[in-house]
Amino acid sequence: MIPEIGHFALILALCVAVVQGILPIYGAAVGNSALMAVAKPAARGQFFLVLTAFGCLAYAFAEKDFSVLYVAATSNSQLPLHYRLAAIWGAHEGSLLLWTFILTIWMFAVTLFSAHLPESTRSRILGVMGLVSIGFLLFMLTVSNPFERLIPAAAEGRDLNPLLQDPGMVIHPPMLYMGYVGFSVAFAFAIAALLGGNLDAAWARWSRPWTTVAWCFLTVGIAMGSGWAYYELGWGGWWFWDPVENASFMPWLAGTALVHSLAVTDKRGGFKVWTVLLAIMAFSLSLLGTFLVRSGVLTSVHAFATDPKRGMFILVFLAVVIGGSLALYAWRAPRVGLGGSFASVSREGMLLANNVLLVAAMGSVLLGTLYPLFLDALDLGKISVGPPYFDSVFVPLMAPAIFLMGIGPLAQWKKTSVPDLTKRLRWAFGVSVVTAITLPIAMGNWTPLLSLGLLLAIWIITTAVVSLRERLTHVTGDSLMGRLASVPRSYWGMIVAHCGIAVFIVGVTMVKGFETEKDVRMNVGETATINDYTFRFDGAQDVVGPNYTAARGSFSVSRDGREATVLYPEKRRYTAQNQIMTEAAIDPGLLRDLYVSLGEPLDDGAWSVRLYHKPFIDWIWGGCFIMALGGVLAISDRRYRIAWRRQEQDVPASNRAARRKVA
């Protein structure tokens, strides 16, 4: 009965979505406020309906209702409750429900925080989100119904893929989807503005915090996925440029470009057309990612079970949503004004240059991801495009972008003088170059890439210091603390996010340059030493988990004769599907991770063991969290909250006159 309620709630949600997608947009076009008023209750109603459906599926999982096909396919009676709940998004149908649910959460949030928006804008935004929602609800109800019954019911479920039975998997997909779907808000704002023809600085100010929030979620979501791959897949890697990873990285690149371009549109009224395109692009790439993962057109480590019918559905959906919005863009964008003027060498110019590099990087990832498909479709053979390609293409594209990242915050809006910039950045540049060359030599392994990585990281930090120091001389305050406090949060947000990139780069560079790995055959009592850490194998024991049995190795790690830690890597056998999983044991640390994974049992109690010493690896994810923290700081700026309340004064008439375009 409960699953039927969920199914019915989805059908009702579809009806509401149709109403929400049509009436308010039509109302806004003809100026009928009764029709426009439908948007808010419809969005909220849809939220509660999808919430109901989501709750029903959660209930089916909690109650082990194996008469629901999806529940039987992705869980098992021995699976612990938290993993049964995480199994809601463990496969295609349920993750689609999560997608839709999160879309309605964002809709609900828009209804809460849009009181200051003009009615026509708000109804257009919610209308566009309703239209997107129609697609996903239809998709579920036609070819991917999570509530489909299995009659007769299965006696036992097939179990969740053991790879996904991991705490990281409980939170990674919701975070990632919050990011993907969060871009739908910026997208809806952009489409609404194109429809209404009111692409102004106010539009940018409204979209900015929404985009930043989505970007933060996406950043954290990707970082968590990468961390999960690191400790769960057992090969110690953290990024493989797999199509699924690329599918999440492309919207991130477009979203990063969008966050920056929105800053210009907000502050200077410029780049409007470009910003709109980026908003469309960021969300389109999220949708494209959904297609790539679920259609089976590309082979990937973590692709969903594929079905050509589903692929066809999403393809048509893509064609309608992306094609439609790009057509609208082509139609309306030429009439958009230009905004304030600026010289090529100015903060605007640099942000735009950075945008070009970010979008080129995004385009390269797209090219590399789809190229095997292109060749295959043209019958020109099958190729693989993997990490060596992306590494060699990505670094030269990102290096100049990061160089600009250091200069941008110091450049003035409108026009900046090159000699002046050079003067201000002299010592930052000197310090970066000298450190980047000498540090690797001091550490005993100089490679050009190592130096480049350190150069970029130190460059970001030193330029941030210069920028902060200059900033502090501009603000008033009695003490240093007082002056630090009076620097606006949005500025702190930028500095922190940029430093997050620096931390990330340090992590990547150090791991690539100084990682050590050892494959050994260890008998009980034998030791192996790696970077002054001595690992002693104390034998393996059989342990029984809730739904698996495992051999658990025990390794005492000591440094300079002192006991440091004990690590317990496991080799698990999940009983339901008889799958073997390698569960690595990691001792994380600020400066290094120790990583042990069990290979195969050899004769007389010995095991093949893989040991890693990975310096600075946690900085990779730490950097991502710092970036996201920067985003959080930026949106907590009080300027926004005041702007919410005084949006009418936001673009003063004098300013409008100042930025008027002369056609």
Partner 1 sequence: MNRFLLPLSIFIVVLVFLGIGLKLNPREIPSPLVGKAAPDFSQPQLLEPTKVFSPADMKGKVWLLNFWASWCSGCKTEHPVLMDLAKSGEVPIYGMDYKDQRDEAMTWLSRWGNPYPVVGVDDAGRVGINYGVYGVPETYVIDKQGVIQYKQIGPLDPETVEKKIIPLVKQLEAQ
Partner 2 sequence: MNIKWIALIGLLFLSGPVWAGEARPLTDDPASEARLKHLAVELRCLVCQNQTLADSNAPLAEDLRREVREMIAKNMSDQEIIEFLTARYGDFVLYRPPLKASTTLLWVGPFLLVIVGATALIITLRRRAGKVVDVPVTEDEHRRVEQLLAEGGKRP
Q: Which residues bind partner 1 (CB under 8 A)?
A: 273, 277, 280-281, 284, 291, 295-299, 308, 311-312, 315, 318-319, 322-323, 326-327, 329-331, 333-334, 370, 372-374, 376-377, 381-382
Which range touches partner 2 (CB under 8 A), out of 120-128, 437-445, 461-469, 525-533? 525-533
| Chosen residue from 13, 110, 288, 385 binding partner 2 by CB under 8 A | 385
| Chosen residue from 468, 475, 564, 566 binding partner 2 by CB under 8 A | 475
The enclosing H or E element of 575 equals none
Cis status of the peptide bond prior to 152, with omega within 30 of 0: yes
235 binds, among partner 1, partner 2, none (CB under 5 to 8 A by kind): partner 2
| Chosen residue from 380, 442, 544, 590 binding partner 2 by CB under 8 A | 380
335 binds, among partner 1, partner 2, none (CB under 5 to 8 A by kind): none
Rg (the chain; Cα; Å): 27
Instruction: Kindly tell me which of 330 and 380 has the beta carbon lying closer to partner 2.
Output: 380
386 binds partner 2 (CB under 8 A): yes
Report the Cα 583 to chain-centroid distance in Å.
Answer: 25
- Note the helical H segments in 270-332: 272-295, 308-318, 324-332
Instruction: Kindly tell me which of 58 and 375 has the beta carbon lying closer to partner 2.
Output: 375
CA distances, 364 to each of 241, 243, 246, 378, 526 (Å): 12, 13, 10, 20, 48
209 binds partner 2 (CB under 8 A): no
For 204, residues 6+ apart whose C-beta sits below 8 A from its C-beta are 262, 265, 266, 272, 275
Distance separating alpha carbons of residues 111 and 532, to the nearest angstrom: 58
Tally of CA atoms within 13 A in the half-sphere of 213 that contains its CB: 17
* Interface pattern 590-609 for partner 2 (x via CB under 8 A): ---------x--------xx
526 binds partner 2 (CB under 8 A): yes
Which residues, 435 to 474, sit near partner 2 by CB under 8 A?
474
Nearest distance, CB of residue 322 and partner 1, angstroms: 6
195 binds, among partner 1, partner 2, none (CB under 5 to 8 A by kind): none
Question: What does DSSP say about strands 607-615 and 592-601: parallel, antiparallel, or unpaired?
Answer: antiparallel
129 binds, among partner 2, partner 1, none (CB under 5 to 8 A by kind): none
Do 146 and 245 meet the contact criterion of CB atoms below 8 Å apart? Answer: no
303 binds partner 2 (CB under 8 A): yes
With 0-12 / 13-18 / 19 or more C-beta atoms within 10 angstroms meaning exposed / middle / buried, residue 521 is middle
522 binds partner 2 (CB under 8 A): yes
Bridge partners of 551, per DSSP, are 542, 571
Instruction: Kindly tell me which of 58 and 356 has the beta carbon lying closer to partner 1.
Output: 356
Neighbours of 555 (CB within 10 A): 25
Nearest distance, CB of residue 330 and partner 1, angstroms: 4
428 binds, among partner 2, partner 1, none (CB under 5 to 8 A by kind): none
Do 371 and 385 meet the contact criterion of CB atoms below 8 Å apart? Answer: yes
Residue with tokens 């009615």: 119
> How many residues bind partner 2, per CB under 8 A?
77
Instruction: Kindly tell me which of 544 and 657 has the beta carbon lying closer to partner 2.
Output: 657
Residue 426 token pair = 């002299």
354 binds, among partner 1, partner 2, none (CB under 5 to 8 A by kind): none
